[in-house]
Structure 1
Amino acid sequence: MRRRDFLRGVGAAGAAGLAGCAGLVRTRAANVPPVIENRPNAVYVPSHVEAMKVSGVASAGAYRCALTYSFPHRFWTVSIDRTERVSIREDDAVHLMPVVWHAETGVVPVTTNPKIEISEGGETVTSLSPWPMLSQPMGYHFGDNVELPGDGTYDVTVRTGAISAATDALAADAATFEFEFDYARETVRDIEFTTYPDEQGSTGAVPPMEMETVPTSQVPKPDALPGRPLGAATSGDAVFVATAMEDATPFGGTAEETYLAVSARTPYNRFVLPMMSLSATLERDGETVFEGSLSTALHSELDYHYGASVPSVDAGDVVRLAVDVPPQVARHEGYETAFFDVPPVEIA
């Protein structure tokens, strides 16, 4: 199911809440809970999650962009299989997050690589390239903590690169989105966050945000993927759903070939797991039909996925998947220990 329901009423800016939160709601004035000790090497319930606000929505061609923000918070960057915590700095004003999506389908492309320039009175205040990130309430997005000199109205320009690896109408050239951002310390300080004192550290996840104006990076449910379903498997908390499309032409193959597509997602919330190196082996009657790396691609029905053109996929074939490099995205709390130890998995 596509996400057009999220797109109704786009243009109204406001706060984004969380569904089903049973924790204690506080404000930024309260102390942020410390990092949980003895965290599992899996997806776990964080100590807290932050609400966010939408400053505005702009359009460029087939895409829209929402400038969203929350109060500064800690996160972890990833380098191959190592993480490094980024702590909140004293002068950090907001955590700024531009969210770009395809207006018709609601697909949130992974490959926009936005660049942000913030100015005031024609003078540049700061410029940055935000991190690609995973958050339990928000899913995949770009974000970073930003310093600002004080209260005021800032001009924010978000420039995105061409939508690469797109196979259909999702393809687009580079785009520019313009915003006015009214920043006030008091407004940011009063953004709510929810704590989970009883559930924190246990395996599981908090629910996704309910956002009236902005879609999330949830990928389609397994039965909503196009093609012939091959099955699903879980390894290291990463969920892999495979499907076969008989005509590989849209993906650079031939009409006689089959396109083997693998959708990788988080457990619980079905958020896309991007920017990993994934390889596959297709075996038939003990013989190898295909062996190699899967390329990343973006498709309006498959969303972001990994795939390859193969001679065919027949009943009784076995697909073996191996994660050669884990997802190279920064993580918010609850994801920073997961998706690193992912043993090979088999889909029969």
Structure 2
Amino acid sequence: MRRRDALKALGIGALTATAGCLGGFERQSAWRDPPLVENRPDAVYLPAITEGMKMYGMTKTGPYGVALSYSYPHRFWSVAGSELQKTVVEADDSLHLMASVWDHETGAVLPFDAGVSIELLRDGTLVSEEVAYPMLSQQMGMHYGSNYVLDGEGDYEARVNVGGTSLHRTGSFAGRFETAETATFEFTFDTDELYDVELERLGDEAGTPGAVPAMKMMNMPMGAAPGIGSLPGTHLGRQTSGDAFFDAFVVEDGTQFDADGAYLYVSARTPYNEFILPMMGVRGTVERDGAAIADGERLRRTLDPELGYHYGLPVDSVESGDTVTLTVDVPPQVARHDGYETAFLSFDSMQFEA
């Protein structure tokens, strides 16, 4: 059975093309909204259906490693402040493109505040251009993606424009990732290849706590947070809030992190796959004997080759018996695929004892 026939039999989407002929596909999407779990928990859950992906290529440009992958057009949820907005598949969407960006020296995935955009050209003429949303997926981790409209089957050029970052950077990352760069990919859009992307229904497991394992493609980094045992400093413990993990650490001599005294930092990650959770607003209070050493200070979003993407705060010191309180006043400003869209939106305060 051909893949497109299998999809019809499953009732997943409407496929209008016939073998060897584009037919009505030029103005029809190969994918409509798949099943959505009812009564979804306010937590990470296994989605009703998982979609595989394929890669158009991987390259280097400036300090960046860049990969371009594709899958069926599919829904996702964007976040603005604390508001969640569903983006549905439009009738003329052709495919979902995903750009992954990392430091090609260390493999650290880079969440950029300046953004990533993708231009699509055919015979030198611009066909589509969209800002690619920073996104979290259970299978791909941190990446940039959106649905795109193409002008039928054939050869295309994709230009992935990486805007650089103004994030605070420490260690060997200081002064890097400031320049805008463009990675170029040549690809052929073939509906048969798109329909060969794997699909799987999760049946009774759908809606239960958990996450689909991350995919492994050509050793492409997925944005996993550093292992807790590899992080420097005193580990104050792990707290869970908004179904996210927050691990707090104190480095007594924070010189290498641009701190005159100690350095308090937090590594935030998803449960299960432990992907980084970027673009949050986190505040910290340090209390000693009832007095505030730091009072509701904003932790700075920081990139470091050893700590990864984290939230940091220079403090004079953190001593035994001190209480550290963390609050999240801005949830991660990243779009989400199925299984993440109901988590990481509302957070209780967290306390750690030094």
Q: Same fold (TM over 0.5)?
A: yes
Question: Cα distance, 1:169 vs. partner?
Answer: 2.8
Is there any run of 5+ residues in structure 2 with no aligned partner, and where? 14-33
Contact 1:275–1:329 (CA under 8 A) maintained in structure 2: yes
Match of 2:222 in 1: 216
Letter in 1 for 2:233: G
Contact 1:79–1:328 (CA under 8 A) maintained in structure 2: yes
Residue 130 (1) aligns with residue 135 (2):
no
Aligned counterparts, 1:300-339, within 5 A = 300-339=305-344
Which of 259, 284, 288 is residue 284 of structure 1 equivalent to? 288
Report the secondary structure of 1:140's partner residue. Answer: strand
Superimposed CA distance per residue, residues 200-224 of structure 1 (whole angstroms, 9 cap, x where no aligned partner) = 0112211111223311111012111
Letter in 2 for 1:135: S
Letter in 1 for 2:236: L
Measure the CA separation in 1 of the matches of 2:101 and 2:125.
Answer: 26
Aligned counterparts, 1:37-56, within 5 A = 37-56=38-57
Which of 234, 245, 250 is residue 239 of structure 1 equivalent to? 245
Aligned counterparts, 1:75-94, within 5 A = 75-94=76-95
Report the secondary structure of 2:204's partner residue. Answer: coil
Superimposed CA distance per residue, residues 150-169 of structure 1 (whole angstroms, 9 cap, x where no aligned partner) = 11111111111223322233
Question: Cα distance, 1:27 vs. partner?
Answer: 6.1
Measure the CA separation in 2 of the matches of 1:135 and 1:213.
Answer: 17
The alpha-carbon distance between structure 1 residues 205 and 245, as it changes in their structure 2 partners (threshold 3 A), is same
Contact 2:171–2:257 (CA under 8 A) maintained in structure 1: no
Match of 2:28 in 1: none
Report the secondary structure of 2:338's partner residue. Answer: coil
Superimposed CA distance per residue, residues 88-130 of structure 1 (whole angstroms, 9 cap, x where no aligned partner) = 1111111101111112211001116112111111111111111
Measure the CA separation in 2 of the matches of 1:162 and 1:37.
Answer: 39
Superimposed CA distance per residue, residues 36-79 of structure 1 (whole angstroms, 9 cap, x where no aligned partner) = 11111111111112111111111123321011111111111112
Residue 230 (1) aligns with residue 198 (2):
no
Letter in 1 for 2:343: A
Measure the CA separation in 1 of the matches of 2:131 and 2:338.
Answer: 21
Contact 1:223–1:229 (CA under 8 A) maintained in structure 2: no
Question: Cα distance, 1:285 vs. partner?
Answer: 2.1
Aligned counterparts, 1:66-215, within 5 A = 66-111=67-112, 113-165=115-167, 166-170=169-173, 171-172=176-177, 173-215=179-221
Report the secondary structure of 2:247's partner residue. Answer: strand
Query: What percentage of aligned pairs have identical amino acids?
Result: 45
Contact 1:28–1:191 (CA under 8 A) maintained in structure 2: no
Alpha-carbon RMSD across the aligned residues, in angstroms, is: 1.6
Task: Name the structure where helix makes up a greater proportion of residues.
Answer: 2
Is there any run of 5+ residues in structure 1 with no aligned partner, and where? 1-25
Letter in 2 for 1:130: A
The alpha-carbon distance between structure 1 residues 286 and 27, as it changes in their structure 2 partners (threshold 3 A), is farther
Contact 2:52–2:197 (CA under 8 A) maintained in structure 1: yes
Give the paired residue count.
321
Letter in 2 for 1:282: V
Measure the CA separation in 1 of the matches of 2:164 and 2:74.
Answer: 29
Match of 2:26 in 1: none
Letter in 2 for 1:86: T
Compare CA radii of gyration and give the structure with the larger one.
Answer: 2
Letter in 2 for 1:142: Y
Residue 264 (1) aligns with residue 268 (2):
yes
Superimposed CA distance per residue, residues 126-150 of structure 1 (whole angstroms, 9 cap, x where no aligned partner) = 1111111111111121100001011
Letter in 1 for 2:317: S
Contact 2:153–2:191 (CA under 8 A) maintained in structure 1: yes
